[in-house]
Structure 1
Amino acid sequence: MPAPTYPHVGATETGELPPGWRHVRHRVRLPDSCFPAAGAAILGWRLHRAAGIRIDADADRAAPGVRVVSRLGVGPLRLAAPCEVVWAVDDGRRAGFGYGTLPGHPARGEEAFVVSRDAADRIWFEVVAFSRPAGWLMRAAGPAGRAFQHAYAWWLGRTLRRLCARP
């Protein structure tokens, strides 16, 4: 079984991202009643599917060790991104997971998707990631690749807000 393609496995769980890597942190407020639906959407892959990402996972729910291939694009232009869930949480205050890249992914690194309650019981969705290019495609993308990562995090937040409005 292939191992993750980066050394800092689990760093998105603590939020202490490694220096020298590209970082993404995107946080959006969700409606106060949204926690159960948002957690289920994240852990059950519904968020990604609703955002237009094709997900092929070897389990219906994110959990450590679950392998997933995200596919973005159309036909022969579809880009496959294999990952493995390296941590997951569902404890009433936080629900979500982090997955790390496997060989064949265009980047190296980790990305997390978490809904949480703060001390005032406000509900937040956050995407946290660190990455580096793994091959020529991401290197060639340069600033456009970085912009895509931020736009993707924004799009997931928008999609989750929409899912919360229509459970």
Structure 2
Amino acid sequence: MRRGTFKDETVDYAAVGATQAPDLMQYPPERSVPAEEAWRIGSGEERFTIAGEALLSWSAQREGGLTLADVRPAAGPSYTGVGYDGEGRPIAPSRLESDQRFAADGTPFVGPGTTVHLHGHAGRYRADAEARVISVIEDPRRVGFALGTVSGSVVSGEELFLLEWRDNDEVWFTVRAFDRPVAFLYRLFPAMVRQRRRELFSRYLRAISPMYTTPA
């Protein structure tokens, strides 16, 4: 089967939330290339807390070499994003409105419905896009968010960034994604989609993990 959840007119793909589906790698959205990587980045509550704050303040993107512009929180309290449980099943939101937080430079933290313009490259691959935060997870042992493309990208799809503080005290950073090639060159050479994704994953890890440094 192919996955197709509800269609959200604010993004440019139909399978909204599919990055949280347990069978993403086996049954990706139609014409999409799925990807998933997980890394152990340390252990303990302090490591989890520090990494969570970094993740929700866009560090994976910014320290990964991308520039953020025009970060706009959702216009009103009615948009709460799509909520999911640990197995990827949609659930009702736990609150109607999130308190808005800001990074030291004044950039709004990740929040449901936030839109952002990303600019830059992942190696030799373009990473420009207008994107929207589809959902945010803030649980005692799980922190993360899903980011979907709106326009302006060479691919259409979604990324999930997830931190977990596991029962054995290890902290893991997982990134999942699916990409449907949009630009002509990427449709002509599908291998470029995978190469671009590998480069992005590597940069996200360097940004969040204390064991790596972000390349220039």
Q: TM-score, normalised by structure 1?
A: 0.85
Decide which of 136, 156, 159 is 1:88's aligned counterpart.
Answer: 136
**In angstroms, what is the RMSD of aligned CA positions?**
2.4
Contact 1:68 1:82 in 2 (8 A): yes
Report how many residues are paired. 162
Match of 1:119 in 2: 167
Highest CA radius of gyration, 1 or 2?
2
Structure 2 residue 35 is the aligned partner of structure 1 residue 41: no
Q: TM-score, normalised by structure 2?
A: 0.67
Match of 1:23 in 2: 34
Find the residue that maps to 2:209 and give its secondary structure: helix
Equivalent residue runs for 1:16-165 within 5 Å: 16-17=23-24, 18-19=27-28, 20=30, 21-33=32-44, 34-56=47-69, 57-59=71-73, 60-73=108-121, 80-162=128-210
Q: 1:64 to 1:15 in 2, by over 3 A?
A: farther
Q: 1:79 to 1:97 in 2, by over 3 A?
A: closer
Distance 1:156 1:37 in 2: 15
- Listed as ranges, the gaps of 5+ residues in structure 1 are none
Displacement of 1:140: 4.2
Report which stretch shifted further, 55-64 or 106-115: 55-64
- Listed as ranges, the gaps of 5+ residues in structure 2 are 1-8, 74-107
Find the residue that maps to 1:26 and give its secondary structure: strand
Structure 2 residue 14 is the aligned partner of structure 1 residue 7: yes
Find the residue that maps to 1:12 and give its secondary structure: helix
Distance 2:192 2:147 in 1: 23
Q: What percent of counterpart residues are identical?
A: 29
Instruction: Give the structure with the larger helix fraction.
Output: 1
Find the residue that maps to 2:61 and give its secondary structure: helix
Deviations 1:45-75, CA, capped at 9 Å, x for gaps = 12211111111222411111100111114xx
